[in-house]
Chain A
Amino acid sequence: DQQVKQNSPSLSVQEGRISILNCDYTNSMFDYFLWYKKYPAEGPTFLISISSIKDKNEDGRFTVFLNKSAKHLSLHIVPSQPGDSAVYFCAASRNRDDKIIFGKGTRLHILP
């Protein structure tokens, strides 16, 4: 049973535009949400996170939005840059110290 779902396997966005990656979760016990970025032949790299007590967290070009009632979160990248081309994993855990449950990932292509 997939507790964290990323329904778009891939997404193509023009350079300079906004990239929006979506994620849904089913486990209401999740309290903490993360986004990881992965380049080929490397391990995932932490990007940004949000606690369930917030609905938005921003870090530079990256903003994560959380809608708890809909069990939905999204990652916005503005403006998109060529180096943003990677696989993005949405992830969740029951608290900050617990194991992380990952989605299947969305491959983002930034077009020139």
Chain B
Amino acid sequence: DTGVSQNPRHKITKRGQNVTFRCDPISEHNRLYWYRQTLGQGPEFLTYFQNEAQLEKSRLLSDRFSAERPKGSFSTLEIQRTEQGDSAMYLCASSLVPRLWNEQFFGPGTRLTVL
């Protein structure tokens, strides 16, 4: 049983650099979500896709952030000109809609540290 995978698991970068994360959802899932979690907080919604269409973006997603899901399978999240405030755990989740229970399956996350 292949769950949601995320790469890399850890990323250390210098302020001002660009970073890109990848998420591979569960294969039959049509929904893919990105969340960000900082210390002492719960996951905060960033954006989500239904197949390849990006349906909603949070106010948290500044212009430096861009997400894609070009073929409706894997997704990438890019952060340009990283800032120290971008340091966080970036979580990806996937689900199949419609269904009885909106159970989102989470990946292990990518921990970003901006120096």
Contacts and interface: CB of A to CB of B under 8 A. Distances in A.
Range of interface residues on B (Cβ < 8 Å): 20 to 34
Interface string B87-115: 00001010001111111111111000000
B45 to A, nearest CB: 5
Contact of B102 (A4, A9, A32, A103): A32
A98 B18 CA distance: 30
A97 B108 contact: no
Interface stretch (B35-43, B69-77, B78-86): B35-43
A43 B102 contact: no
A104 B106 contact: no
A43 B93 contact: yes
A99 B107 contact: no
Contacts of B21: none
Interface of B: 4, 31, 33, 35, 40-45, 48, 56, 91, 93, 97-109
Given A43-B4, A43-B106, 18 more contacts: A32-B102, A41-B108, A42-B108, A44-B106, A45-B106, A46-B104, A49-B101, A49-B102, A89-B43, A96-B97, A96-B102, A97-B97, A99-B45, A99-B48, A99-B56, A100-B45, A100-B104, A102-B44
